Amino acid sequence: MTQKTSSKILITGGAGMIGSNLAKRLIKEGHQVKIVDNLWRGKLDYLHEDNKPIIDFDKDFYNRDLSISGSCDDLLDDIEIVYHLADIVAGIDYVFSNQGSLFRQNNLINSNVITSVRHSGKKVKGFIYVGTACSFPLTRQNSLEVIPLREEELYPAHPESAYGWSKLMGQYETELLEKETGIPCSVLMLHNVYGSPCDFGERSQVIPALIRKAINFPNEDFIVWGSGEQGRAFIHVNDVVNALCLTKDKGLGKGIIQIGPSICTSIKEIAETVVQISGKQIDIVFDTSKPEGDKARSADYSKAQSILGWEPLVNLRSGLEQQFNWIEKRIESEGSHT
């Protein structure tokens, strides 16, 4: 068996759910990892395993605001691979209530990181940009009759949200980076990622929010935003990390690749499953006065399959049970300290 060589890797947004899991995997594989994160949603606590830090926080962690120009120039001196995960994102309420600032901040973050990579003088040997299925046109996501999305349907562009637009702009600038510098790049367009560690507070996304409500019920009402008919292609963080690791070895220079299942699961089904896992008698309330975003989407992941040898492996039910248990322990721990 060929011995894999160790790489020096920078992860932006590395203290978040995806970034922290990616860092743990890469370190186990023998790579040297640096992390930059402003801890807006990420937590240093996430960068621990068995109650021990996975990196030297004094040497390999940088608390930086990447929306400031040049903020990561000095971090790339010896870096070979950059995983760019950092962005501003939260639940649907936050996204649609802060569209202007979110759009501006994400454009600044993306452009600053990509510019730093440009200035590295080709020391960086690979740049992996994490995009989102929210960048696909609204016209392909506004029906409950779901036909899996394909990468070539990205244009003409018409994302529903400023978040989708901002991520598309970063994706486009990544393509320019590769074209103009020759640095091999990859764009992974992720569908709805869930798992742990995760934010389950007021800014959380749909699955952790529903799990929190179920755990806190009846002290917190179990209200689902929208009709519940809207659906998403939910993908577990472990499957995403698999894709990110495969991309480093097989996906650079191969363009845009979707990461998500071909199955669209309704929010109603997610809510019902969470209630079942909780073991409680909960009447689900749907608040149709609240936004619900795109109607439905799923992924044709044949490109990921052919280029990366990737497919989703984590069963949704078991993934939800794992996340439920993680959040429940966190809530119990927080309660014991109040």
| pLDDT above 90 (res 248) | yes
Minimum mean pLDDT range among 3-7, 20-24, 119-123, 289-293? 3-7
Looking at the domain assignment, is residue 287 inside a domain? Answer: no
Q: State the CB neighbour count (10 A cutoff) for residue 311.
A: 14
Residue 235 CB-half CA count within 13 A: 28
Confidence at 336, pLDDT banded by 50, 70, 90:
low
Looking at the domain assignment, is residue 223 inside a domain? Answer: no
| pLDDT above 60 (res 1) | no
- What CATH number is attached to the domain comprising 131? 3.40.50.720
**Model pLDDT for residues 250-299, shown as the tens digit of each residue:** 999 999 999 999 999 999 999 999 999 999 999 999 999 988 777 889 99
Looking at the domain assignment, is residue 320 inside a domain? Answer: no
Range of the domain at 123: 8-198+233-262+298-314
pTM for the full model? 0.94
Looking at the domain assignment, is residue 331 inside a domain? Answer: no
pLDDT of residue 122: 77
Q: State the CB neighbour count (10 A cutoff) for residue 193.
A: 22
pLDDT of residue 333: 85
Looking at the domain assignment, is residue 162 inside a domain? Answer: yes
**Model pLDDT for residues 157-185, shown as the tens digit of each residue:** 999 999 999 999 999 999 999 999 999 99
pLDDT of residue 93: 80
Cα angle for residues 51, 52, 53 (degrees, 5° grid): 125
SS3 at position 2: coil
Looking at the domain assignment, is residue 284 inside a domain? Answer: no
| pLDDT above 90 (res 114) | yes
Question: For 92-128, b where at least 16 C-beta lie within 10 A, e where not — what string?
Answer: bebbbeeeeebbebbbbbbbbbbbbbbebeeebbbbb
DSSP-derived secondary structure for 143-212: -SS---B-GGG--S---SSHHHHHHHHHHHHHHHHHHHH---EEEEEE-EEE-SS---STT--HHHHHHH
Is the CB of residue 133 less than 8 Å from the CB of residue 297?
yes
Looking at the domain assignment, is residue 136 inside a domain? Answer: yes
The span from the CA of 234 to the CA of 25, in Å, is 21
| pLDDT above 60 (res 223) | yes
Looking at the domain assignment, is residue 247 inside a domain? Answer: yes
Q: Domain total for the chain?
A: 1
**Model pLDDT for residues 140-153, shown as the tens digit of each residue:** 888 788 899 999 99
